[in-house]
Structure 1
């Protein structure tokens, strides 16, 4: 199968390209710099430029692009960048696909569990659950809506709503490891809030599943089937590193350190991958210990 991937140099994107190629698929990497390899094609979403000639006979397109949510404090300017980087690129790519003489079968466009809001307590959240409120919820709704041109052209559109992706060298675990390795790690706030992690390995497998399986359409929560409290997550992480788990990180300290983004760490999202499971997908790392071990 010929698959185009935008956002192919990111944490998830680079792993996905490797996973697709190892499975025998031909990958076209949509990049924003001058192509440096035969499998790269330059696109420029700001200028509305998409290399349609390189997308001939592409059966699936995966879009993972967007400024990293955790890379800066959430100033007004940065939130505009987060929004624009996702909505503009998705709109441009989805619209361009409709101009192909032979359109791709499926457009897999990233989203996130932030769709459900910053804090839903102990409520079990699947794909039938309504959207939440707050900045990320609004961003995710706009992000998914931006793929509408592809839907209108009868391209199957899937939205993987990623949880906290945990993997070697990056993702949600990266900022935690230095403290925990020094024996200074602890839970956030009261530690009772639910986190919904997923291993990078299973994230790539889930994306491949959405690309390869005919009939997949709509939102899919890409989270392990067993959400865990932040307190339990920190306990398992400390144990796997053979380090003590010390004092918790107070909520006010997080607010001072990272600003509004702290709501995403202190809030509770108990998300389950109902639609993936119903479609026959099986997680190789279904619970927190397996997820952390896969990253370490």
Structure 2
């Protein structure tokens, strides 16, 4: 009936008491309504023992509250408690809205499916896992990039204009390592910082920043960082599409600037995507 997350008998008792008080019943009257002796209902309400399903179903019918609420509270409480059991305390502390996002997806998702529900009408733990995996990877990327920027601020003398690029590069490298190993989690600050340092020492400290150009996104980021290479890119496109060569010898810098204005968006895309994404886009 229950998965990894088990009901807390004291919390269940507190909710049973809430119904008792709302109805204005004594323990004896409450027990009579449920077909229980006073000592038994008292044990459930005080959280000494967990009320069985048949009792909770009777209280549910009596109060109009769903069975799941007695065992786990509101859906978002259930989701949060499950994620805490799964060890996600650090992320939930920084992003307390995550359970509400998963609840919203459960209630209004594009592919709403009764198969997602437990017998209580709450999301299956596997559904929570799937939703959380998508949210977690996005927030972990942001977390790693922030730590990378902090590392660069504290341990390097890079120009300010280059730190954002470098933080995206490092976070992408570290996330690639994460995808392959799952060696850290959100909140593992020391381990992530050590990984960032390792990649910095092995790459940026030894050579100029260059994004992986095996796919178009990284290639364009590298090209658009340089005026001359951007001019060559535009000229190649112009010859391909119109048969005419482009040069900024007599002007045309405006067009170069327009092309280079794409670079911040490409950097954002680079930070948010994986090589699996690129494979899907360019090779499948």
Normalising to structure 1: TM-score of the pair?
Answer: 0.21
Structure number with higher helix proportion: 2
Bigger relative contact order, structure 1 or 2 (CA pairs below 8 A, ≥6 apart): 1
* Rg (Cα) greater in structure: 2
